[in-house]
Amino acid sequence: MYDELDRPSSAVEDYVKAIYGLDERGVEVTTTAIASRLQITPSSVSAMLTRLTGTGLISHRPYAPISLTPSGLRLAMQVIRRRRVIELYLVNCLGYGWDEVEGEAEILEHAASELFVERMSNKLGDPRIDPHGDPIPTKDGQIQLPPSHLLATLEPGATGTLVRVWNGDPDVLRYLDTCRIELGNRIEVLGREPFGGSLVVRVGEPSEGRVHGFGYGLAEVLSIELDS
């Protein structure tokens, strides 16, 4: 773990977090993908990748995907743990909605000390998931990824439980709130509209569930743990 006095800059932390996030989603980690995720120019990304390679945080060869080194992965786990513990604390202890934490956590994750984060974690009972279902790495950098599938990949007839909303996009979370959809809901895939239309799902038990049409963009950020 980094000492607070030689902690990497917020930009470095954002980069290793972005690289991990892309890889976790199964997206090839390229300069263009990082630029899109961080909403900056590819030339800026290229300059930072040279710096990160020099400090041993990433492995980057021309025309090959970018990957975190062991030290880069350790840093990413620290940043992600800090971020997700903060988000859960804001919701559970300070009354924030799950759609309100994105901006606050973005600031606090770079300012909070490790001691402060561990005090929050202890207060929360050493949690394993954040308000969006994202797994929280342990203090020693381990992370457990429960088996789940993106809703967009499921076929009609599949049933399971909503366990994760990827990316924490406030607009997505507010939409789910308007539909009264939350983590732990039962999800059943009823069918697909023709010609690339919406995925039709039932939320809740068959006798009282609500039927919704989810576009591909929404179905791509919802993870379902399938019934056994």
Question: Which amino acid belongs to residue 75?
Answer: L
The CATH-assigned architecture of domain 149-226 is: Roll (2.30)
Residue 225 token pair: 């743990």
Whether residue 63 has pLDDT greater than 90: no
Q: Residue 7: in which H helix or E strand, if any?
A: none
Give every CB contact of residue 224 below 8 A, 6+ residues apart in sequence: 148, 149, 150, 151, 154, 158, 160, 161, 162, 163, 187
The gap from C-alpha 1 to its chain's centroid, in whole angstroms, comes to 22
3-state secondary structure labels for all residues of 55-87: CCCEECCCCCCCEECHHHHHHHHHHHHHHHHHH
Helix 70-94 / helix 114-124 crossing angle, nearest 10 deg: 50
Whether residue 62 has pLDDT greater than 50: yes
CATH class of 1-143: mainly alpha
Closest CA to 46 of 31, 56, 66: 31
Question: What are the phi and psi torsion angles at 176 (to 5°)?
Answer: -60, -40
Residue 163 token pair: 């366990």
Q: Where are the domains of the chain?
A: 1-143, 149-226
Instruction: Tell me the pLDDT of the chain averaged across its residues.
Output: 93
Give the mean pLDDT of 34-62. Answer: 94
- Please, which pLDDT band fits residue 193 given cuts at 50, 70 and 90? confident
CB atoms within 10 A of CB 35: 17
CA 73/CA 94 separation, integer angstroms: 30
Closest CA to 94 of 68, 76, 120: 120
Give the mean pLDDT of 192-205. Answer: 89
CA 83/CA 120 separation, integer angstroms: 11
pLDDT tens for each residue of 134-149: 999 999 999 988 889 9
What pLDDT is attached to residue 5?
Answer: 47
